């Protein structure tokens, strides 16, 4: 967790998609909506391409949580993208649990191209749910 203004703020990694969720996240920034500066976004074509190992690695290297911003049913690549992404997230949560880490450190939700307010709300709520867990335990390489 990072300290901002004297308060601990969870470091969150967001996996986002080029076509749908990125524009919603960008809209949050251009509308000057506030979410933590400890949120980092990685953009990719489709969230179903995320590997569970990436999520586990991010948590082991110091991110307090990983948020997967899916396209929902509007993925340009796969009609069952949300289902496949849900399987990735479930597998990552299982892998975290097997390593003694909290599966609640991973969350998935659909974020559309005009979902600036919902994205900001997701970040606030996720950060609030991560706070009681404390910082993730960094694992040496």
The answer to the question of residue 43 being in a domain is: yes
What confidence score (pLDDT) does residue 121 get? Answer: 95
CA dist 140 to 2, 65, 92, 135, Å?
19, 18, 19, 15
Edge-to-edge strand ranges of the sheet holding 39-44: 39-44, 12-17, 65-70, 106-110
Host domain of residue 56? 2-133
The whole-angstrom separation of Cα 107 and Cα 44 is 17
- Ordered per-residue pLDDT tens for the chain, 141 residues: 555 544 578 999 999 988 888 888 988 988 888 888 999 999 999 888 899 999 999 999 999 999 999 876 765 655 676 888 899 999 999 999 999 999 999 999 988 888 899 999 999 999 999 999 988 876 655
The answer to the question of residue 66 being in a domain is: yes
State the first-to-last Cα distance of the chain, in angstroms, to the nearest integer: 19
The whole-angstrom separation of Cα 122 and Cα 113 is 15
The model's pTM is: 0.90
The answer to the question of residue 81 being in a domain is: yes
CATH number assigned to the domain comprising residue 50: 3.40.50.960
Number of domains in the chain: 1
């Amino acid at each position: 967790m990072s300290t901002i203004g004297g308060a601990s703020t969870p470091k969150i990694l967001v996996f986002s998609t080029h076509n749908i969720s990125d524009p919603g996240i960008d809209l949050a920034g251009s509308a000057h909506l506030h979410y933590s500066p400890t949120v980092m976004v990685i953009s990719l074509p489709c969230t179903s391409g995320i590997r569970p190992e990436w999520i586990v690695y991010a948590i082991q290297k110091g991110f307090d949580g990983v948020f997967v911003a899916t396209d929902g049913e509007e993925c340009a690549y796969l009609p069952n993208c949300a289902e496949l992404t849900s399987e990735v997230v479930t597998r990552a949560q299982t892998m975290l649990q097997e390593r003694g880490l909290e599966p609640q450190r991973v969350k998935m939700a659909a974020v559309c191209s005009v979902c600036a307010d919902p994205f900001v709300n997701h970040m606030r709520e996720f950060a609030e749910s991560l706070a009681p867990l404390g910082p993730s335990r960094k694992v040496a390489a």
